[in-house]
Structure 1
Amino acid sequence: MKPIRIWFNRTFSTAVHYIQMIKDNPDSRKFTIYATHPKKHSLMLQFADHAEIEPSLTGKQYIDYCLKFCRKNKIDVFIPHYEQTEIAKYAAAFHELGTRVLVCEDHHLLEMIADKGSLFSRMKNIPDVTLPDYHVVRTAAEFLKAYIDLKEKGHTVCMKPTGGEGGKGFRIINDKKDTSIDSLLSNVTSRISFQAVYDILSAQIEFPPLMVMEFLDGYEYSVDCLAMNGELLAAVPRKKVSGRNQLLEENLALLETAKVITKELNIPYNFNIQFIYKNGVPKLLEINPRMSGGMYMSCMSGINFPYAAIQLLLDGTTNVVQPIYGINCTHMEKELELVRIF
């Protein structure tokens, strides 16, 4: 049997763990890994069997590049991160080349999930899913109204763009402007004064939608999931204890909520759900319909999440072991020589 050719397009550096997990699969299945990235020092380019510099393209131009790459390299499985939603629109074109794409092919669903305002609107009436108090605003007047409403409910207020990954644009809003020398000389934080935000927003007639919401100050959990046809096949909640320390926890409430979300949205293969607790209640923060950056920690439970997803894609089935919970884990920096110089 020829090795199965897998291509990772540009993605986060921790995906190097997924390359190793796919190759070290329990079935001794053979894989050849291709990776592309626009940055020549990307770790993905160091760990792949074949690596190339990826051009800086978007939209249809990027799709054309992807199709050409799959055709030239006879790619069997494409695992996209960058431009995932756009790639989902053209899944049929990849299938015609003989390339299976590890992605939810419902691009409308991906667009909805990527916009937190749309996602919250979809989930607000779903049993067993609790949302933070929030407003979506596009003008300074709407921001002021949202801020006042949340403060009257007793919340500390925060905000972030409705789109985008991770913590980009996240700010906790202070009631008062801090003009002390200590604030100037201290570490940079995510806090900003209400007046500063309002002044910035007031200078714009309209701006891209912002989510203004209650600040959640409890433990954060990241739940890595594996699913097919609306059925949750495996899930591991990771409790972010402190710093880099995490606990793989059998949190029954979160596991049940993950089942509900899986049935409602029908996201296939690997995806990730994030929650933060407030007063003992887990509240939905976001959903990432792909492998998460920290999923490799969840794999310490004994579940090979990336390989299981490939099995589902290629074979339609996988055998998932019972996860081992109660594992405290962390990660560390390690030196590495760059042997591929582009």
Structure 2
Amino acid sequence: MDQAIWLMEGLSSQRDVISGINEFFKNSNKTITVIASHRHNRNEILSLANIALIEPDEDEARLDFITDTVKHYGVKALVTGRNGMWFEAHRQEIEALGVSLTTGAISTAMFMLADDKVEFALTMKAQGLPVVPSLRIESAGVLRHQIDQNAHKKDDEKLLCVKPVTGIYGSGFWRFDNNASPMSSFTHPESRKVHPKIYLHALEQLEDFEPLVLMPYLPGPEYSIDMLVEKGDVIAAVARRKEGALQYLEQSGPAYELGKKCAQIMQADGLVNVQTRNDDQGAPLLLEINMRPSGGIGYTRHSGVNLPALFALRQLGLMDTAQAKLLATTSFSPAVVRSMTDVIRYNPILDNLSVREESA
């Protein structure tokens, strides 16, 4: 069997990562075996792999599942997008199988730091990186006090936004707007604007308060920097500047450099993503790092830089560091992309999938 790379369940980009790997090796004289697994029968993901597996739901069964799969298929590289903390806690047992493990980080401490947006901001600021000022809010009363204090500032300093201290996909993000109608957050939730009185009223009804982070709302634009990093060494990176429905693919500039510095400090390891947003002076400030591929990593392939393929080449020892860094720069060309709605036909043949194999 060819060298095997195993991509276990991810959060939103597993299909795009596999697709990027397949695209490169389809036109290459090198051949590999791609294994994909998921807890659910996600045929739109699993059908792209040479070997498809269903993962166990229980943490207790995961290590045995990994052990059996690695031994049976001769897996050389194992990649995970979910359960990073669990994998880091079991790194020694997994790597003892003779397989490399990529989780996005190299320790549980870095996962915890990336997950806590306030602590992350404080740590990056201490390292000299420009960050969005972030204040931890521990109660509705504290938030009400901060909003009242902010009301005395100049108009251009009154803009505030709030989101949970932990979380992904921008879940729970709201921008306070004193001009928003009481119903606007219900009739136009996609605007993410809410009157602070409405938000506070809802918050005060909660019995269990989850910490929030209060930040100024910045004018932007927002940047999303997708990277391939190996223990803090940035091998390849592409920045996406988001302006409305369009995203501009870049490989230079302050936001691009800030993203790389953040990944270096965090000792990121794998396909990761850093987000920044420009302040009113046009300078990027650090928002957060995701120790996993972003949902938009597939967009970066339109720049000519195939981050998933470079990752697979490095993990399987088919390309050295210098070659990968050179390819990541020489293959790049600026591009503008627009997200489109699409669907994938469901294949009932993959229902009740346990194991499916095809020739590579």
TM-score after normalising by structure 1: 0.87
Measure the CA separation in 2 of the matches of 1:233 and 1:6. Answer: 19
Listed as ranges, the matches of 1:88-237 within 5 Å are 88-103=88-103, 104-127=105-128, 129-153=129-153, 154-175=157-178, 178-179=181-182, 189-204=191-206, 207-237=209-239
State yes or no: 1:52 paired with 2:62.
no
Q: Tell me which residue corresponds to 1:80.
A: 80
1:187-218 deviations in Å (ceiling 9; x for gaps): 65422232232223333465222111112232
Listed as ranges, the matches of 1:64-79 within 5 Å are 64-79=64-79
User: What amino acid sits opposite 1:328 in the alignment?
Assistant: V
TM-score after normalising by structure 2: 0.83
User: What amino acid sits opposite 1:276 in the alignment?
Assistant: R
1:243-296 deviations in Å (ceiling 9; x for gaps): 2x2111244212322342233222123211111112112111110122222112
Over the aligned positions, Cα root-mean-square deviation in angstroms equals: 2.7
Measure the CA separation in 1 of the matches of 2:299 and 2:132. Answer: 27
Measure the CA separation in 2 of the matches of 1:42 and 1:3. Answer: 23
State yes or no: 1:285 paired with 2:295.
no
Measure the CA separation in 2 of the matches of 1:164 and 1:183. Answer: 20
1:93 Cα deviation from its structure 2 partner? 0.9
8 A contact 2:6–2:77 mirrored in 1: yes
- Partner secondary structure for residue 338 of structure 1: coil
User: What amino acid sits opposite 1:54 in the alignment?
Assistant: E
8 A contact 1:91–1:101 mirrored in 2: yes
Measure the CA separation in 1 of the matches of 2:149 and 2:70. Answer: 51
Q: Which of the pair has the greater relative contact order for Cα pairs under 8 Å at 6+ separation?
A: 2
Gaps of 5+ in 2: 353-360
Measure the CA separation in 2 of the matches of 1:193 and 1:238. Answer: 31
1:102 Cα deviation from its structure 2 partner? 1.6
Gaps of 5+ in 1: none
User: What amino acid sits opposite 1:37 in the alignment?
Assistant: H
1:27 Cα deviation from its structure 2 partner? 5.3
How many residue pairs get matched? 337
State yes or no: 1:18 paired with 2:17.
yes
Measure the CA separation in 2 of the matches of 1:45 and 1:118. Answer: 37
1:63 Cα deviation from its structure 2 partner? 4.5
8 A contact 1:5–1:77 mirrored in 2: yes
Q: Tell me which residue corresponds to 2:345.
A: 337
Measure the CA separation in 1 of the matches of 2:42 and 2:271. Answer: 27
1:92 Cα deviation from its structure 2 partner? 1.2
Measure the CA separation in 2 of the matches of 1:14 and 1:194. Answer: 34
Measure the CA separation in 2 of the matches of 1:151 and 1:60. Answer: 51
Structure 1 pair 188/112, CA: closer, same or farther in 2 (3 Å)?
Answer: closer
1:235 Cα deviation from its structure 2 partner? 1.8
1:135 Cα deviation from its structure 2 partner? 0.8
Q: Tell me which residue corresponds to 2:39.
A: 38
Among all aligned residue pairs of Structure 1 and Structure 2, give the percentage whose two residues are the same amino acid. 22
1:18 Cα deviation from its structure 2 partner? 2.1
1:179 Cα deviation from its structure 2 partner? 4.0
8 A contact 1:159–1:210 mirrored in 2: yes
Measure the CA separation in 2 of the matches of 1:229 and 1:56. Answer: 29
User: What amino acid sits opposite 1:11 in the alignment?
Assistant: G
User: What amino acid sits opposite 1:305 in the alignment?
Assistant: L
1:65 Cα deviation from its structure 2 partner? 4.2
Measure the CA separation in 2 of the matches of 1:76 and 1:124. Answer: 38
Structure 1 pair 205/331, CA: closer, same or farther in 2 (3 Å)?
Answer: closer
List structure 1 runs of 4+ shifted beyond 6 angstroms.
Answer: none
8 A contact 2:55–2:62 mirrored in 1: no
